[in-house]
Amino acid sequence: MDGQEKTGTTAGDDNGARPPAGTSLAGTVLAGTGVSPGAGYGPAHVLAGEIPEPDKEARHDGDAAAERARAERAVEEVAADLEARGARAGGEAQEVLGAQALMARDPSLAMEVGELIDRGVAAPRAVFDAFGKYRDLLAAAGGYLAERVADLDDIRDRVIAVLTGLPMPGVPASAAEPFVLIAKDLAPADTALLSKDVVAAFVTEQGGPTSHTAILARSMGVPAVVGCAGATAIAPGTSVLVDGASGQVLLAPDPARVAEARAAEEARRAVLSAATGPGATADGHPVPLLANIGGPRDLESALANGAEGVGLYRTEFLFLDRETAPSGSEQEKAYRAVFEAFPEGRVVVRTLDSGADKPLAFLPPPEEEPNPALGERGLRMFRRYPEIMTAQLGALARAAAGVSAKVQVMAPMVATVEEAEWFAEACRTAGLDGAGIMIEVPSAALRAADLIRAVDFFSIGTNDLTQYALAADRQVSAVAGLQDPWHPAVLDLIAMAASAASEAGKGCGVCGEAAADPVLACVLVGMGVTSLSMGAPALPWVRAALSRHTLEQCRAAAAAARSATSARAAKAAARAELPGLDALAL
């Protein structure tokens, strides 16, 4: 994922530049990936150097039983400390630290430590080697598991610190002024007790968008930059200005630059909190802002972020964890909970989207599919199992009866007019009024004018539309670079669908990741998209971005983006037409 894994056997000798030979040159700019927007400024706190690798040749004094007991006590002390920190922090941090304590107490690990000690190896080295085996296994697996390597290294270093009497690695829990926390990578134990009052920003050399640092920073609302090469060489105490949107880390900036960033940050917060109410452009063109949800549990966040309704209710979560399909009454109950949360609001339900990539025990795919993205999924699966569709549409119709929410239903993976007609007819038969389809397959966008006649609305799923338009499998990281909705080809397909819907006097929303990008959201509105649906945390940003631009500016941005010849150029061209983004520091 981030391609910067340590090798495991050379910990401690791979960071060439360390304080005091640190970097503090005024105006030096380091670049990483911004993963939590905002500006943060403060003195650098570089996380205490790593615990040095214990001597390879170190042997204990011959009393293996005593050495084993010593190792066991150290492990238990660390595990108990992790649990205690978790209990103090609560919430998600408690779960993460609890998982770390579980790793520390792993019986296989303890057995390997014991075996090494029996062979004469001193406890610190035995711990180092036993952890090394699992660290290599996790690192080799890549992705989520590779990002757990930081958790494992943290436990190892804590145990070795206890055994050797070295100071425990960690972060001060209080500070006179908020600092910029800089580290190779951060472990949950480092960050669990941190608050916004202590940390102005995070900068790490490693880690990707799904690392703990990124997730935690976003949940704390603290700016963060990850994958920033050379960050740990910054001399402690150097003043650092971090831009969590662009990924820039500026060392010893001049005071004017800091004042500018602070002013921008304040303005950004003011703009964010000032933009309330229904989504609209600066000149009052309404753009309903809706939330993507997976079930009733997501409602709280949707309402807290001001969602006007639900633009994508993914119903497969109701079906995923079971041997048999959920009963009609169980479905009805889950649907009604969501409908009742949005009185008078719009709730768009996507019918079951299963297939070889999201297999269900009771809907087995007929054969092994070499390319599940192009296989029997979405509506295609419904055609094989029409009784599942009938049951779901029936439950939806019953749940929609007697609630004030405007319930609409849409089908995923529609490629042809015939499929759209078949689904609309099934909805009518079930007694449902609004039947729509997702635009995810390029054929549906290209012939949108034909498809819109069969249905009441479109909702564009930009993630799949991008995957199919660029022939870039979403699951294959090697082609992730092509998976960019800013690509002008994708923008053209969106524009085709939106204008076909508009000519027919019908709505065309977007419910993919693209709608959550405040810049792209303006472009989508400029292309004629009539509503935007996204993960709830993005709603305030998109609301603010829209409220600062007129429909005319959005149209100009859309035209500029579509005139470009690459995704990058499209984004740059759009930004140039959207001056209000500056105040949001986007």
Kindly tell me which of 134 and 486 has the beta carbon lying closer to another protein: 134
In the residue annotation, 285 being an active-site residue is answered as: no
With CB under 8 A, what is the number of residues at the site for another protein? 25
Q: How far is CA 478 from CA 103, 115, 483, in A?
A: 31, 41, 10
Select from 100-108, 377-385, 417-425, 476-484 the region that touches another protein (CB under 8 A): 100-108
Taking CB under 8 A as the rule, which mask of x and - marks residues 114-143 in contact with another protein? --------------------x--xx--x--
Catalytically annotated residue among 511, 522, 549, 554: 511
In the numeric block, which tokens belong to residue 63? 């009393």
* Cα torsion 367, 368, 369, 372: sign: positive
Q: Look up tokens 């590779």; give the residue.
A: 146
Rg (CA), the chain: 27
If binding is defined by CB under 8 A, does position 72 make contact with another protein? no
How near is the Cβ of 525 to another protein at its closest, in Å?
Answer: 31
- Binding another protein (rule: CB under 8 A), the pick from 46, 71, 97, 103 is 103
- Binding another protein (rule: CB under 8 A), the pick from 102, 173, 304, 576 is 102
CA distance 356 to 380: 12
Kindly tell me which of 87 and 361 has the beta carbon lying closer to another protein: 361
309 beta partners? 346
- Binding another protein (rule: CB under 8 A), the pick from 68, 148, 346, 377 is 148
- Binding another protein (rule: CB under 8 A), the pick from 8, 43, 49, 98 is 98
Helix (H, G, I), strand (E, B) or coil at 37: coil
| Secondary structure element (H or E) that encloses residue 321, with its range | none
In the numeric block, which tokens belong to residue 285? 């063109």
In the residue annotation, 511 being an active-site residue is answered as: yes
- Binding another protein (rule: CB under 8 A), the pick from 31, 58, 64, 99 is 99
Kindly tell me which of 218 and 398 has the beta carbon lying closer to another protein: 218
39 beta partners? 243
CA distance 212 to 146: 12
Kindly tell me which of 85 and 268 has the beta carbon lying closer to another protein: 85
If binding is defined by CB under 8 A, does position 323 make contact with another protein? yes
Tell me the pairing of strands 248-251 and 239-243.
Answer: antiparallel
- Binding another protein (rule: CB under 8 A), the pick from 20, 107, 370, 402 is 107
How near is the Cβ of 468 to another protein at its closest, in Å?
Answer: 22
Q: How far is CA 422 from CA 323, 349, 353, in A?
A: 28, 17, 16
Residues 292 to 321: which contact another protein by CB under 8 A? 317, 320-321
CA distance 420 to 428: 12
DSSP code of 431? T
Kindly tell me which of 70 and 314 has the beta carbon lying closer to another protein: 314
Taking CB under 8 A as the rule, which mask of x and - marks residues 347-386 in contact with another protein? -----------xx-x-------------------------
348 beta partners? 408
If binding is defined by CB under 8 A, does position 337 make contact with another protein? no
Select from 72-80, 99-107, 298-306, 483-491 the region that touches another protein (CB under 8 A): 99-107
Kindly tell me which of 76 and 260 has the beta carbon lying closer to another protein: 76
Select from 95-103, 221-229, 233-241, 566-574 the region that touches another protein (CB under 8 A): 95-103
CA distance 569 to 576: 11
CA distance 31 to 17: 17
Catalytically annotated residue among 212, 487, 522, 549: 212
- Binding another protein (rule: CB under 8 A), the pick from 51, 121, 127, 152 is 152
Question: First and final CA of the chain: distance in angstroms?
Answer: 25
Kindly tell me which of 322 and 428 has the beta carbon lying closer to another protein: 322
Q: What is the 3-state secondary structure (H, E, C) of 333-355?
A: HHHHHHHHHCCCCEEEEECCCCE
Kindly tell me which of 100 and 547 has the beta carbon lying closer to another protein: 100
Q: Which of 508, 490, 491 is nearest to 499 (CA)?
A: 508
Q: Look up tokens 């499998």; give the residue.
A: 473
266 Cβ partners below 8 Å, 6+ apart?
none
Report yes or no: 232 and 183 within 8 Å, Cβ to Cβ.
yes
- Binding another protein (rule: CB under 8 A), the pick from 106, 129, 265, 552 is 106
Residues that bind another protein (CB under 8 A): 95, 98-99, 102-103, 106-109, 134, 137-138, 141, 144-145, 148, 152, 317, 320-323, 358-359, 361
Residues serving a catalytic function are 212, 511
